[in-house]
Amino acid sequence: MSVTKRSPTARSYPVRVPRVPVGPLAPTVLGECSGWLAAQGYSPSSAAGIVNLLERLSLWMRVVGAGVDDIDQDLLAEFVAAERSRDLPCVAVKRWVGTMRRFLVAVGYLGTAGMEPGQLTPAQAAAADWRSWMRDQRGLTEKTIAANCHYAAGLLDALTAPDGSVEWCHLDASIVNAYVAERRRPYGVVARAHIVTAVRCLLRWALSTGRLDRDLTAGILKPPGTRRSLPRGVDAGQVAALLAVSDPATAIGARDRAVVMILVRLGLRAGEAARLGLDDIDWASGHVRVAGKGREHVLPLPVDVGQALEAWLRLRPPALDRAVFVRMRAPRQMMAPSAISGIIARLSDRAGTDRIYAHRLRHTAAMAVLAAGGTLTEAKELLGHTYTVTTMAYAKVDLASLRELIVPFGQVPR
């Protein structure tokens, strides 16, 4: 008689979730979660994993004696810590805890408000004051404020003493440069320049509010390679390779093909393509309304771009908003600008070419206008530039026009 041996990686029975959900979240909250996930467009397998995690939370809440009204960020943190402390943590904790938190916020069980001013740590209070200063004194946009905090707020943590206070008196250029050098490791040239700009903004705020008694901005080392280079486009062969690896018979292939066409033909930025809505396309007149960088402009819709968009929209799944390009996985909503650029990077890898991103296709569109005999004004209107001097950078790569300006050796210019 053979006995089935229990796998050494199997979980011990006491930590299993009962087949019948128990706890304060069953069955009302669990049912709401299932309906919310279906409305968001999650697949049945993904929804099952999220509901399972919520069932684990409900069981844990019953064990610790917590109710629905006790749900807050601290309670969720304790639950996650308890799950991760097990010998074999549930994989759903790492994968779906963020989605579970978004559900609890969406239905009102978890508040979105931050801590009260009295509960903020000194570093958090300093970051909040810095945000207000950038908004009220500098007049920066919320997007710029968020980017600055993302890049530079970590410097406040580096200055935090064991007792929680921020020791501004110990800050010097060496500490700032060490932070900048460590923070910029995973980023490219442009992001590294943004990190330096954000840190300088933080130091100017600290100086203007009396936290610092000397200006340290001059001591920050400039990141290498931040000099503006000539615009670089891609050739027709590379564009054809990107289109060749996009299967128009599938929804994701049709979407990727439409993204490539609209970037390389209309010169849109990744953010402009991401924000493009169904109502921005006027099929009757053949025009597209593009919004970006604080202005709107209308562009003609080429036939090949219109055909690519039509093929994608016929396969576009139902989504939560009216964005043209939406995620293929839940939640099905407008794609982020980074996702638009990620499409081009993924296609270039599949095509076996050098990795390129969305902005290279924008350069290609501008250079194609000049190569076809167009003027800088026409390129400016296509790109949506506010100032002509911005577009003049493309004149440096218009080799056909530059050759006509070359004075033969030994002759005097006329």
**Does residue 413 have a pLDDT over 80?**
no
pLDDT of residue 166: 86
- 175 and 252 belong to one structural domain: no
For residue 127, what are the contacts with CB-CB under 8 A and spacing of at least 6? Answer: 149, 153, 156
pLDDT of residue 14: 46
Of the given ranges (6-15, 122-131, 250-259), which has the lowest mean pLDDT? 6-15
Give the alpha-carbon dihedral of 151, 155, 158, 164, to 10 degrees.
-110
Q: Work out the average pLDDT over 383-393.
A: 80
pLDDT of residue 311: 96
Provide DSSP, 129-186: HHHHHHHHTS---HHHHHHHHHHHTHHHHHTB-TTS-B-GGG--HHHHHHHHHHHTTT
For residue 200, what are the domain limits?
Answer: 120-219
pLDDT band for position 227 (50/70/90)? low
Q: How buried is residue 160: exposed, middle or buried, by Cβ count under 10 Å (0-12/13-18/19+)?
A: middle
- 23 and 56 belong to one structural domain: yes
The answer to the question of residue 1 being in a domain is no
List strands edge to edge, sheet with 281-282. Answer: 281-282, 287-292, 295-300
Cα Rg of the chain (Å, integer): 27
Q: How far apart are CA 98 and CA 102, in angstroms?
A: 6
- 284 and 378 belong to one structural domain: yes
- 377 and 256 belong to one structural domain: yes
Among 242-256, 291-305, 386-400, name the most confident range: 242-256
pLDDT of residue 117: 46
**Contact indicator for 206, 212 with CB cutoff of 8 Å:** yes
The answer to the question of residue 384 being in a domain is yes
User: The CATH number of the domain where 381 resides is what?
Assistant: 1.10.443.10
Count of domains forming the chain: 3
pLDDT of residue 1: 47
pLDDT of residue 301: 94
Instruction: Report the run of H or E that residue 100 belongs to, with start and end.
Output: helix 91-106
Of the given ranges (59-73, 150-164, 199-213), which has the lowest mean pLDDT? 150-164
Please report, as a single letter, which amino acid is at residue 58: S
- 174 and 261 belong to one structural domain: no
**Does residue 12 have a pLDDT over 60?**
no
The answer to the question of residue 201 being in a domain is yes
The answer to the question of residue 409 being in a domain is no
Q: Is 374 helix (H, G, I), strand (E, B) or coil?
A: coil
Structure tokens, 393: 């950078």
Structure tokens, 135: 């908004």
Give the alpha-carbon dihedral of 235, 238, 243, 244, to 10 degrees.
140
The answer to the question of residue 7 being in a domain is no
pLDDT of residue 405: 53
Q: Is the peptide bond before 44 cis (omega within 30 degrees of 0)?
A: no
Give the alpha-carbon dihedral of 138, 144, 148, 150, to 10 degrees.
150
pLDDT of residue 76: 87
- 292 and 319 belong to one structural domain: yes
Q: Work out the average pLDDT over 77-106.
A: 82
- 62 and 142 belong to one structural domain: no
Structure tokens, 178: 């060490």
- 378 and 258 belong to one structural domain: yes
Instruction: Report the run of H or E that residue 377 belongs to, with start and end.
Output: helix 376-383
**Does residue 155 have a pLDDT over 80?**
yes
Mean confidence (pLDDT) of the chain? 83
- 102 and 132 belong to one structural domain: no
The answer to the question of residue 304 being in a domain is yes
The answer to the question of residue 190 being in a domain is yes
- 333 and 272 belong to one structural domain: yes
Residue 409 is given by DSSP the state T
- 200 and 246 belong to one structural domain: no
Q: How far apart are CA 218 and CA 215, in angstroms?
A: 7
Buried b (16+ CB within 10 A) or exposed e, 183-215: bbeeeeeeebbbbbbbbbbbbbbbeeeebbeee
Q: Work out the average pLDDT over 2-22.
A: 55
Q: How far apart are CA 287 and CA 279, in angstroms?
A: 11
Q: What are phi and psi of 66, to 5 degrees?
A: -100, 150
Provide DSSP, 201-236: HHHHHHHHTTS-SS--GGGSPPPTT-S--------H
- 198 and 277 belong to one structural domain: no
User: The CATH number of the domain where 148 resides is what?
Assistant: 1.10.150
pLDDT of residue 310: 96
pLDDT of residue 250: 94
Q: Work out the average pLDDT over 333-360.
A: 91
pLDDT of residue 247: 93
pTM, two decimal places = 0.66
pLDDT band for position 115 (50/70/90)? very low
